[in-house]
């Protein structure tokens, strides 16, 4: 080998060594990824509301007296539980109380007059009967008998009129009591007083026509609560009353509550442009859950359309666009794999092809450097 050939060979060896060195250095540090194993479990297909829903009371009433007046009695406060029929507010009504007392007195008087007239009618009838027997023996005149029978008929009519006047007096009492009742605000159902607008001595007036004013008492039935949430119009045809649902509340981020669809609005709302929704109501399945709820909480509904108890599943967050996933191989290299899916929601997705139980899929897809073909080390897995 000549000197020139040796020089060329040396240069080639140095180039190979340098290329190998650069290749080794170019491998870089493996990326750290979080993986989850493909396993069997429950998968549900669900639809959820498009905007936050609200926990509402089944019954809520904004109450105000039907007449104006001065508040003289306010026996309840905000947050207090009340029972059906309990007085919540009373306006000045001394004149109407007096009218009720007068009507009751008139009933007593009418009944006394009726008893008097009816007793007189009985006496007159007995007298007419006695004279009729005497007339048969010609001991009294025909004229005397006619007068007695006429007097008896007149007394019977007076008795009937007196009894009718009792009914009139009772009707007047009912009317006076109804007018008095308009000055008292009572609870139409048992519940909790949410708001009181008014103080003792203040004047309240009914709302003018077409100009609503805040209610004097805001009453809620907190023993019956439900969630009202808007669903996209596209999902509405798949919903049915009675479907099971999962309810999530921001106030309880770590809990999920079982529910059931109780109503689907028969119309579509277009409150916002290009956002047409249908209101859906879901009630809580377990009454014990209501003890933690407050009307007004924000809430979300997931209606369960279908489910499989045992399905091969992966976290939905592991799926890339085009139904692809990154699988961590035994050699520590990430490889892209196309899959076919079945049921799914935002938590779990059923895998019907492309993966097997035990495969590890990457869920930390948003990390820098995570891509097919790179080396990776497992940070955590199930």
- Each residue's pLDDT tens digit, 141-195: 888 888 988 999 999 999 999 999 999 999 999 999 999 999 999 999 999 999 9
> How much is the average pLDDT of 208-222?
83
> Across residues 122-146, what is the average pLDDT?
87
Strands 340-344 and 334-338, by their bridges, are: unpaired
CATH number for the domain running over 48-59+223-308: 2.40.30.170
pTM above 0.75, yes or no: no
Is the sign of the CA dihedral 173, 177, 178, 183 positive or negative? Answer: positive
Q: Give the pLDDT confidence of 93-118 residue by residue, as tens digits.
A: 999 999 999 999 999 999 999 999 99
Distance between CA atoms of 295 and 197, rounded to whole angstroms?
19
User: Which residues are paired to 247 by β-bridges?
Assistant: 257, 301
Percent of the chain at pLDDT > 70 equals 90
What is the 8-class DSSP label of residue 303?
E
Task: State the pLDDT at residue 22.
Answer: 42
Alpha-carbon dihedral sign for residues 37, 41, 44, 50: negative
Third-level CATH fold of 28-43+311-380 = 2.40.420
What is the per-residue pLDDT across 291-319, written as a single tens digit (0 to 9) for each?
778 888 999 999 999 999 999 999 999 99
Please report, for the chain, how many H helices and E strands are present, in that order: 3, 21
For the cut 90, the answer to whether the pLDDT of residue 228 exceeds it is: yes
Mean pLDDT score of the chain: 88
What pLDDT is recorded for position 21?
46
Pairing of strands 53-63, 217-232: antiparallel
Q: How confident is the model at residue 6 (pLDDT cuts 50, 70, 90)?
A: low
Name which residue leads in pLDDT, 199 or 272.
199
pLDDT at 13 over 80: no
Beta-carbon contacts of residue 155 (< 8 Å; ≥ 6 apart): 117, 120, 121, 123, 124, 125
Q: Is the pLDDT of residue 198 over 60?
A: yes
């Amino acid at each position: 080998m000549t000197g020139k050939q040796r020089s060329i060979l040396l240069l080639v060896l140095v180039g190979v060594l340098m290329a190998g060195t650069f290749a080794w250095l170019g491998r870089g540090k493996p990326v750290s990824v979080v993986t989850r194993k493909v396993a069997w479990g429950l998968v549900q297909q669900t639809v959820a509301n498009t905007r936050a829903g609200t926990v509402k009371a089944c019954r809520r009433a904004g109450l105000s007296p039907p007449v104006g007046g001065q508040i003289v009695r306010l026996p309840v406060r905000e947050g207090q539980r009340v029972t059906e029929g309990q007085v919540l507010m009373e306006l000045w009504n001394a004149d109407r109380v007096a009218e009720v007392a007068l009507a009751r007195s008139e009933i007593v008087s009418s009944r006394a007059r009726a008893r008097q007239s009816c007793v007189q009618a009985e006496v007159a009838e007995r007298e007419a009967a006695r004279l009729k027997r005497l007339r048969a023996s010609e001991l009294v005149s025909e004229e005397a008998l006619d007068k007695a029978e006429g007097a008896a008929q007149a007394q019977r009519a007076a008795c009937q009129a007196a009894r009718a006047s009792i009914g009139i007096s009772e009707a007047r009492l009912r009317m006076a009591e109804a007018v008095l009742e308009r000055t008292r605000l009572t609870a139409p159902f048992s519940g909790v007083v949410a708001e009181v607008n008014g103080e003792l001595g203040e004047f309240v007036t009914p709302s003018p026509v077409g100009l609503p004013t805040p209610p004097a008492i805001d009453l809620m039935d907190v023993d019956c609560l439900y969630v009202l949430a808007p669903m996209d119009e596209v999902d509405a045809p798949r919903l049915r009353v009675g479907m099971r649902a999962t309810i999530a509340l921001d106030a309880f981020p770590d809990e999920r509550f079982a529910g059931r669809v109780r109503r689907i609005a028969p119309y579509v709302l277009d409150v916002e442009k290009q956002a047409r929704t249908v209101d859906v109501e879901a009630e809580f399945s377990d009454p014990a859950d209501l003890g933690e709820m407050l009307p007004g909480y924000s809430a979300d509904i997931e209606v369960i359309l279908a489910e499989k108890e045992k399905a091969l599943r992966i976290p939905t967050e592991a799926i890339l666009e085009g139904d692809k996933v990154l699988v961590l191989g035994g050699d520590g290299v990430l490889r892209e794999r196309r899959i076919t899916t079945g049921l799914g929601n935002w938590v779990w997705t059923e895998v019907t092809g492309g993966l097997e139980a035990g495969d590890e899929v990457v869920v930390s897809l948003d990390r820098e450097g995570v891509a097919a073909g790179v080396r990776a080390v497992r940070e955590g897995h199930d």
